[in-house]
Every structure is written in C-alpha cells, then in structure tokens.
Structure 1
Amino acid sequence: MLTDIFAHRYLENPIWDNFDENARRLLVQGFRIVSEQLFPYYDASGNERSESKALWDGLNKKLAMELGLKDLSSPTYGYYTEWNGNKHWTSGSWPKITVCENFVVAKYDGSVSADQFIKERLSFIEIAFREQEEKLASLNASLDKRIQQEDLAAKVRPNRSLRLPGNHGDGLRAWNKTQNDMFRASCNELNERFRQCKVKLHYHNGFIQISEDEVIACEIEQPFWNLVSDPIWRNVDHDMKEAIDLRDSGGRDPALFAAKALESTIKIISDAKGWTKGNEKGATNYIDNLRAKANGEFINGWERESLVEFFSKVRNPFGHGAGSQPVPELSPPQTDWAIEFCMIWAKNLIRRL
C-alpha cells in the first residue's frame, strides 16, 4: 500500500542547503513529540505497553517501504565483551521505538544531500502524526456508539456493584475531548518548532506542507485546517492540500483545485441546509441557494457577486478547454491570492453554520 510522504512530495523542491544545528534540533524535538506525547512506548513503570510494539513496527514499516528499506535502521545489535580474558559475543534485538529513533536522530554523514536526509526523517514525523490523526478520527466517529454501549452496560449492572457518580456519557465526552485537545497541542508545538527552526513548513490534517507567510499561516491557514478536519469536509481538505502541493512543486493549475475546495464547501452547506433542489448546473446555482431570501440569505448580494466573479474569471477558464485561445496561467502572487481567497471564504462560510 502506497503511503504519501513529505520526502516524495517535495523531492524537486529544495528546502535545506546544509545540515545545521537548527535541523538537528528540529528532528530531535519532532521525534520527542512523537515518542513522549503521541505514542509513549513504555508505561510509568518502564514496561513496554502492550500496543506499542505493533504500533511502532507499523510506523517503521510504512516509511521503510517508501524509502526502499527493510527497516529504518538495524533491528539488531551485537558486540564483543571481554570477561576473564575471554571474548564473549552479546547480541539482541532493538525495541521498535529504538529502530525508529536511530533513524530519525542519526548523525548526518554526507552520504546523501542534507535536503534528502532531513526530508526523509521529517516524513517519519509526518506519518506518526497522521497515524494519530486517523486514530482520533475513528474515536470521534464512534463516540456516540460508545456512549450508547456504556449506558446499556450500566443499566444491566447489579445495583450492588460499585458505581462512580456522574453521567457515563459526559465522562466519555470529556475523555474524548481531552484526547483531541492533547493532539492539537502537539500539532501546535510541532508548528512552533518549525517556526523556531526558521523553516517555512506547517503540519495540518496529516500533511506537512510549505507555508510561506507566518501571519497567513496563523490567521488563515491554521483556522481553515482546523475547521475542515471534520469528515464532512474531507473533499474540501483533499482539494486544498492538492492545490498547495501543486503550487509548491510548480504543478499545473493549483488555483483550480483551490476553487474546487471552495465549490465543495458551498455545495456541502447547500445540501446540509436542505436548499439543494437537484437541478443545479454549476457553482453559480449553488451560490444562489445560499443567497435566496427563502433560505434566509445565508450570504448577501455583494458576497454573491464576489463569489460568482471568482468562479467566472478564475475557476472557469481553468476548468474548461482553452480551444484555440492561449492556455490561461496565473502568476505566483495571483496563485497565492486565489488559494488564500478560497481558504478565507470556505472558513467564513463554515463558521456561519
């Protein structure tokens, strides 16, 4: 199974000229966030957690497969010791967390470019964060079912059994919220580590991508990614990530994918509100659903005109064949504007729900 990794997406986009102290510190800090906050390998008593071996082995195998390795680093060790004048061979297997750690925090030896070396190790951190993202998504999706199961179990328990005060559902919701809050704090810390390292990267919703402007990242990008992390917005999330990857790699038509993300936002809202009639032929019809007085004017007149103008002048020329006319192309600043425009509008519309 293919795994999308940072090192492959940005293969042709150099970020590091050399391996310096900032890069070394970033890799150590990133690994510590994973090993201490996301997936601790040992419990408080220093014993291996039952689920840790399989989880860390999975992280090892996923990245090793993409890098064409059997393991990220040697899974075994061996060395000679001397006792009573005789040499003795000592050998064993490393815990899976050590196999991963020896790879991520390895000393740079110059055998590959510093850029490749750092990107491959950041790919491990990306995969680990994505793993936790997926685990939390599963927990969030099953929360109502788990509450129902707990309530049912509570009803059939004997009255004489020990019961703690409080509502079981509230307890599960609080625990679930704590897990999400802890992960978001880890994401924020990783992004702060990127900032301290003076590298223009940003983690969001399973991916590390380039983020050129710190203010834009803080005020526009991060709130946008937080909002579209809910499964209902998965197409919005996917298309916007595609837009950014295409922009960063010099690919074709990144603004088109940003526009697709915005159009999906508008369609999802129209569907969720029950305003979709089924005879819509394009983005303008869905925008009109949001503008309609009968629907409470979710957006007003000038907002409608702004959205229609964008789809007419920016999205449509890229969404249709150019025919005998020159192929439309946006400059880099115009591309950035189009992506930010779509993020701002999507974020604003979602917050109105």
Structure 2
Amino acid sequence: MSDQALDWMVGTLQIAIAEGKFYVWCTDENALNGLPQLSPSNLQLITNRWDIAEQAKARNLQTQFSDFDFSQHDDCSLDGFFYRISKEKPLVHHLLNNAWRCLKPGGELWLSGFKNDGTKTYIEKIAQLLGCEKNIKKNGQVYTARLTKHSPFNVQLQLDSSDYVNTRPIAADSGLTLVSKPGLFGWNKIDAGSALLIAQLEQVLSNQPAPQTAVDLGCGYGYLTVAAQQIPSAAAKNWLLTDNNAAALQIAAANLQLNRISGQVIGADAGFGLPVKADLLLCNPPFHQGFSVDGDLTDKFLANASRLLALGGIALFVVNQFIPLERKAAPLFKHVKTLIDNGSFKVISLSH
C-alpha cells in the first residue's frame, strides 16, 4: 500500500539533491520498500531499521544504521533535512531538535505525515523554534511543509524528547535488572504478553535439559532473555538476541552486560540469515509495520523460527489473541499447541 506522505518526501528529495547541497534523510519503517533508485554523493540516509539500511546499501546510498545518532554532525552543518513523521513522540522531538541544531542558517527542513500522525502540530512547533512561517500544505489526509531555519538553536527551548538518547532503569518492582529508553515498544514497562510467556517457561521445560543455545527473536530491550535466564530449566549457556531496530540492539546488549549473561546481539530482519540452531526460541513478534497492522510480519517471524529451531528444540510465541498463529504455524511445525489464552494474549508452543 502506497504511503502518500513518503511519496511526497521521496519526490521532493529527488528534486532537491539535484541542487548539489548536502542533505540528510531520516527514515524508519515507513520507508520500507519505498527507497528511490538513486545514489547521490550529497545525501546521507540515517535509519534505525536494519532492513532499510541493507536496502539502502544495496542501492549504494550513503547509509548510517543507528538509533538516529547525530553526534557526528556539527551544529549548522547541513543544508537540508528530510523527515517523514514517525509514530513515537519522543523520537519525533529528538529528530526535530537535531534538525534545528544541525541545519545551517537558511537551511531547510522538509516534513511530511498524515493528519493522525500529529504532523500539523509538529510542524507548528518546529516552525516556531526555527523562526519561520509554517508553510503547511494539505493534500487529503497528508500534511507537508518546507521550513527555513532563521533562529539559532537554543538547548533551553528544544522540544521535550523524554531524554531520548539516554538509558534509564525500568521495572524496579520486577526483581530484574533492566534498562531501557524511549523509542522502543513498551520501553518503560514489562509487556503483559511477554510476562505471560515467561510464566509458562518453567512448566514447559520441566522435563527438558537446560538449553545450550537460545534465541530471543525480535528481542526488544531483552526482557525475555533476562527473565528466562532466572529460570534454571531455561538458563541457556549462550543467548543470541536479534532485532531489526537499532535502539533495541543497543539496549539488549546493555542488559546482557548488566546481568552477566553470555550471548551476542545481532541485527537482522526477523532473524533472517542467522547461522544458528536453537534449543529454545522465544518470540513476541510485532504485528505493526509503521502505523498499520501487517499480518506478513507474523509469517516472516514464523518462517525464520522454523529454520532456526533445532530438532528437539522448543519455540514459544506470544501474540495478541486475534492473530491466527496456530493456523499460520501449522505448515511449518510438526507440533503446535496453545498453552494459555487469557483473552488478550495467547502463548503457543511450536516444535519439529
């Protein structure tokens, strides 16, 4: 399905780069399969998505895969900044603040997004800080703006990004040592579905030897790994945590270190291409792609889980109650069993 906000951004970008100035394009999952076929030397794409970074590199685009880290960009160093509004408010504010800081006087910020993304409000906020007219244009449900920097960056006036770049302890009442940060799914709490999965582990693995290798597929900040490692029957000798999101990889690695868990953290698209066979695989797969529900994501996680799971191994998935995971998993696994369905989430055991 076409994203009109992204289409405007790409079209505008293709015109702008012909001017020869240096631009940055920040994008997340909204640009998946929407990257243009161009590789100009005056454009840097910054993305927090592993799959988009790999696509961009294949197109020979100058690419930075990071949690939108602008530490290498000096104040007043950019001619232009392109950004299709994201889903998470702290991330949006983080990027708008950096656009304000990094743009040269007279540099331009191009923004686009849908009405229900809060785009109009974001444009109004940053236009005031830049000291320019809002220049908002509306086409159906899409808002766009081309803004010019006139006012110098003032750290005291920047938008509240919830201290986006820094980690902080979370879930102190859980008995676990965990850190997290804005920009991640359920970043400041323990997800109820993940907790339900962990509650089934001890019984499921009671007659199994402790796993040698375990995979946390779509790991987020690493809660499933840290919690599972506290259960003797689930305590693996080596963990492999993987995610598509740069912030997730960064924080999962921090939580491994904090808890002295032996393992590695690897970027991958739903575990694609990982060279491992897991005795235990845990997964709480996302079912949103950008702002919309995407059923293909569940299929992708299941297909990779089937490939990664060793013969005799056990995979546990937790999903929202309405996702037909049992039907989707049936062609890929010999055994599919629903362990619990609490009306909101269900935990399903899969094995070969």
Give TM-score, length-normalised by structure 1. Answer: 0.24
Q: Which has the higher strand share?
A: 2
Give TM-score, length-normalised by structure 2. Answer: 0.24
Q: Which has the higher helix share?
A: 1
Q: Which has the higher contact order (CA 8 A, sep 6+)?
A: 1
